[in-house]
Chains A and B, each alone.
Chain A
Amino acid sequence: DGGITQSPKYLFRKEGQNVTLSCEQNLNHDAMYWYRQDPGQGLRLIYYSQIVNDFQKGDIAEGYSVSREKKESFPLTVTSAQKNPTAFYLCASSIAGTKNIQYFGAGTRLSVL
C-alpha cells in the first residue's frame, strides 16, 4: 500500500522537551516537505528536502530541525526553542520538478502539556 505514513497521530510535549515526528514514504519520491497547519493560516512550509543529505529552511524554520539520511524518511524535531508548537503537522512528498504534485500524510497533532 503506497503512501506517506506519519507517526504518531497525536503527540504531547512537555516544557523544555524536544519531540520528533516521523514521516516515511514508499513512493520513491525525491522531494519531501514539512508543513505546519494552524486554523485560518493554511499550510506554512517549515523545511523541505529535494535530495538525500540536503535540506533547506522554509518560511517558519525557527525552532525546528530535520534530517534526510534516507530517501524514504524525513523526521522533524520540534525543539524547546519553538515557543508555540501546538499545531497540526503535515508531511508531503513529490517527484522533483516544478510541475510536481505533492502527496500528503495524515498528519500529527502536537499539543503542549
Chain B
Amino acid sequence: AQSVSQHNHHVILSEAASLELGCNYSYGGTVNLFWYVQYPGQHLQLLLKYFSGDPLVKGIKGFEAEFIKSKFSFNLRKPSVQWSDTAEYFCAVNNNAGNMLTFGGGTRLMVKP
C-alpha cells in the first residue's frame, strides 16, 4: 500500500521567510501528486498538482513544488511567506491505477506578522 509522509508537523515562520515543506511517498510506479491547503475555517482546496512533464509546477498564491522521482519527493516551496499563508498543508498521491488519494499527516504553518 502506498503511504505519504510529511515530516514537519508544525512550522512557525516570520513574514518574508522562505518556506519548504517536505513530502515523501512510497510507491514505485507512476504517480499523480497534489498539495492541498486548508485555511482556518475554510474548505480544503487544491494548491497545485503534478501529473507529468516539467517536474517544477507552479500553483496559486506563489507556491511551487518540485517532483524528484529518484527521491520519491514532492516538496512545496514559497520564496517569501505572508501572514495569510497560515494554514494546514496536505500532500496527497494517487497511483494512476485508481482515483483514490492517499494523504500525508499534514503540516500546520503559522506565519508571524
Contacts and interface: CB of A to CB of B under 8 A. Distances in A.
A105 B43 contact: yes
B73 interface: no
Nearest to A50: B99
Q: Which of A42, A101, A105 has the most CB of B within 10 A?
A: A42
22 contacts: A33-B100, A35-B103, A40-B9, A40-B105, A42-B4, A42-B90, A42-B103, A43-B92, A43-B101, A45-B100, A45-B101, A97-B99, A98-B32, A98-B94, A98-B96, A98-B97, A99-B51, A104-B36, A104-B43, A104-B44, A105-B43, A106-B42
A101 B106 CA distance: 18
A97 B51 CA distance: 13
A98 B99 contact: yes
Given A42-B106, A99-B32, 8 more contacts: A40-B105, A42-B4, A45-B100, A45-B101, A98-B97, A99-B51, A104-B45, A106-B42
Contacts, number: 52
B98 interface: yes
Interface of B: 4, 6, 9, 32, 34, 36, 42-46, 49, 51, 90, 92, 94, 96-106
A87 to B, nearest CB: 14
Most chain B CB within a 10 A radius of its CB, from A31, A94, A102? A102
A88 B34 CA distance: 21
**Residue from A90, A96, A104, A107 with most neighbouring chain B CB atoms (10 Å):** A104
Interface string A24-49: 00000001010100001111110010
